[in-house]
Structure formats: C-alpha cells, structure tokens
Amino acid sequence: MSEQKKVIFSGMQPSGVITLGNYLGALKNWTNLQEEYNCLYCIVDMHAITVRQDPATLRKNARDLLMLYIAAGLDPEKNIIYMQSHVSAHAELAWILNCFTYMGELSRMTQFKDKSNKHSDNINVGLFAYPSLMAADILLYQTDLVPVGVDQKQHLELTRDIAIRFNNAYGETFRVPEPYISKVGAKIMSLQEPTKKMSKSDEDINATLSILDDPDTIVRKFKRAVTDSDAAVRYDELQKPGISNLMTIYSVITGMGMDQIEAEFEGKGYGDFKLKVAEAVTEELRPLQEKFKALSKDKAYIDTIIKKNAETANYLATKTLRKVQKKVGFPPVMR
C-alpha cells in the first residue's frame, strides 16, 4: 500500500445475493475510488453469523460476494479484497473494543432494534456487539474514509466515538474515520413498500432486486413496483416515494439529474418510465453478470486472490493490533 494515499475500508455481509441497493449505495461507488485511495473491501462473514446461516450457503455466498466485488470492477491487484474470518485480528480487536463500548450505546443502535424484532427467537450477544466488531474492522487499518449507505451512518458515528475514547485514554492509536456517503442512491427503497429500505432479507421477492436477476425478472419486478395514481414522473420523496425511488435508481445509473428525468418523461405514463428504468438496470448489470459467470469457472484464480489478499490484510491488521495490545497492558509474547 502506498503511504501517501488515504485508506478506504468497507464491507458487505454475505447473507444472500446482494441487492440493487447494496450495489448502488456502496459497491458501484467503491469502483471509483481504487485509483485515488488504498482500499480494503471485506466480506464480513463474522458479522453474518449474528443471524442463523446455513454453513454451506454461507460459504458459497462469501465466495460469490468476493467474485461480485471483482465482477463489479474492483481490481484485486489494486484493492485488498478478503474474508473477515481469515484475519483473526478482527475478533481480537473487537474484544478489546467491547471493553470500551457501553451497553447503552449498543442498545440505541437502530439495526440492533430492527434485527432483534425480526429475529426475536435469537437475540444473541453477537447481534448486540455487532457495532464493536464493525469498529474493529475499520480501526484496524487506520482507515480515513468508509463508503457506505445511509443505514450504516449510526454505526460509523459509534466507531468514531470508540476511537476517540480509546485515543483519549491511551494517546493517539487509531485514526478517526469519516463516513463517505453519496448524495444520490445511498438509500434505495423497497420496490413494494417504498418507504422501507430495500433489504436482502425481505421475504417478498418482488420487493428487492438481486444483482444477479435476469433481464425478464428485472422487467417483471419494475413493472410491479408500487407507485401512485398521479401518473406524473416527478420527484417528491414524501408524496411520491415509489416514483422517487425509481427516479433515484435511474439517476444513479444514467448520471441524469432529477429535472432532466422529469423532462424526459413529461407527458409519458408510468409504464414507459418503468420499462426505461428496467432497461437501464439490465444494461448496467449485464457486464457484471457476465464477468461473474466467467469468474465462477476459474476456481484456482479466485483461490489465489483469497489467499494473497488475506496475507496482506493480516500483515496490516496485526500492526495495529499489537500496538493496541501493548497500550492496554497485555504482556508481550515471548519468542
């Protein structure tokens, strides 16, 4: 990693095929950062087990997600793309940070509240302590910027608080990271309930769009997307959340502003608009899907990437971990 460049860290949970929300809110932006920054992109399998996962499916999803990162345009020679569970420093630092994180802080996290409502039979300690593991992910690499969607902002604020608290107690140890949230697309909404965010775990398959959906499915889901009875393509998040969400999707993909989109569809019906959005999404995802298919056939190449990047991540993470262990007073390991 070049010393002069700033460090970017982000991650996704391999808890299913990622959605158009994950792609537009995070992954697509990551690909624009790889020249200017030193970037680490993690597949956070340790976070994923905070809700029950089938082991074989988790293994497959983790590998698929790594291939999707590459298929979306992340160059594995320029970015450190790796599995969280391959770098044990994440768990070790998370433990230390748990001792600097308050129960009150964790119980205020909206993701914890949402997930514990959804999985009321399994409100485990890992789900509760999820944000201190996330803080460890970020702080291990002396990260400057964290590109995420809006839903992760609260976790990042907590990460900053933990870093500042630790630095105040032990002297400068962690760089205090900043969130990096794009203006448009940072919160893509459900296609069926457009006041709710699009989420991998939604039970209604028509509510989400997987980035591996085929063109027919994409058209069908957009045709069924919930809109309103007003029939004017106009941006108004409060009164017209469905249409505004489709406009956001179209805007992030085409780069057009909302007024340009309104002008393009002036006097046209929702049917035309929905088809145009579906077409734009299909064309956006086509190269990614083709690359993903090709990568799926190259097991040896993917294995090499996984191994090599885990080594680099381990090297970097261990540097920070050793510093932290020393500061809190752990006796040095005798060699």
Which residues are known to be catalytic?
115, 197, 200
Q: How far is the CB of 307 from ligand TYM (least distance, A)?
A: 22
Q: Is 138 in the site for ligand TYM (CB under 6 A)?
A: yes
Which one of 72, 87, 134, 252 is in contact with ligand TYM (CB under 6 A)?
A: 134
Measured CA distances, 69 to 12, 41, 216 (Å): 10, 8, 24
State the sign of the Cα–Cα–Cα–Cα dihedral 193, 112, 153, 91: negative
Q: Is 202 in the site for ligand TYM (CB under 6 A)?
A: no
Q: How far is the CB of 151 from ligand TYM (least distance, A)?
A: 5
**Residue whose CB is less far from ligand TYM, 10 or 320:** 10
**Residue whose CB is less far from ligand TYM, 1 or 232:** 1
Q: Is 227 in the site for ligand TYM (CB under 6 A)?
A: no
The 10 Å CB-count burial string (b at 16+, else e) for 164-194 is: eebeeebeebbbebebbbbeebbbbbbbbeb
Q: Is 12 in the site for ligand TYM (CB under 6 A)?
A: yes
- For residue 301, which of 80, 72, 70 has the smallest C-alpha distance? 70
Q: How far is the CB of 87 from ligand TYM (least distance, A)?
A: 12
Q: How far is the CB of 15 from ligand TYM (least distance, A)?
A: 7
CB-based contact 211:285 (threshold 8 Å)? yes
Q: CA-CA-CA-CA torsion for 34, 250, 63, 3, nearest 10 degrees?
A: 10
Structure tokens at 87: 């770098």
Q: Is 13 in the site for ligand TYM (CB under 6 A)?
A: yes
Q: Is 193 in the site for ligand TYM (CB under 6 A)?
A: no
Which one of 119, 187, 234, 327 is in contact with ligand TYM (CB under 6 A)?
A: 187
**Residue whose CB is less far from ligand TYM, 123 or 232:** 123
Report the relative pairing of strands 145-147 and 38-43 from DSSP bridges: unpaired
- For residue 5, which of 36, 29, 27 has the smallest C-alpha distance? 36
How far apart, in whole angstroms, are the C-alpha atoms of residue 285 and residue 71? Answer: 10
Q: Is 79 in the site for ligand TYM (CB under 6 A)?
A: no
**Residue whose CB is less far from ligand TYM, 211 or 233:** 211
Q: How far is the CB of 298 from ligand TYM (least distance, A)?
A: 25
Chain positions 152 to 181 lying near ligand TYM, rule: CB under 6 A, are 152, 155
Q: Is 188 in the site for ligand TYM (CB under 6 A)?
A: yes
**Residue whose CB is less far from ligand TYM, 165 or 187:** 187
- For residue 197, which of 22, 5, 63, 43 has the smallest C-alpha distance? 22
3-state class (DSSP) for residue 9: strand
Q: Is 97 in the site for ligand TYM (CB under 6 A)?
A: no
Phi/psi for 187 (5° steps) reads -145, 90
- List contacts with ligand TYM (CB under 6 A): 9-13, 21-22, 25-26, 44, 47, 134, 137-138, 146, 148-149, 151-152, 155, 186-188, 197-198
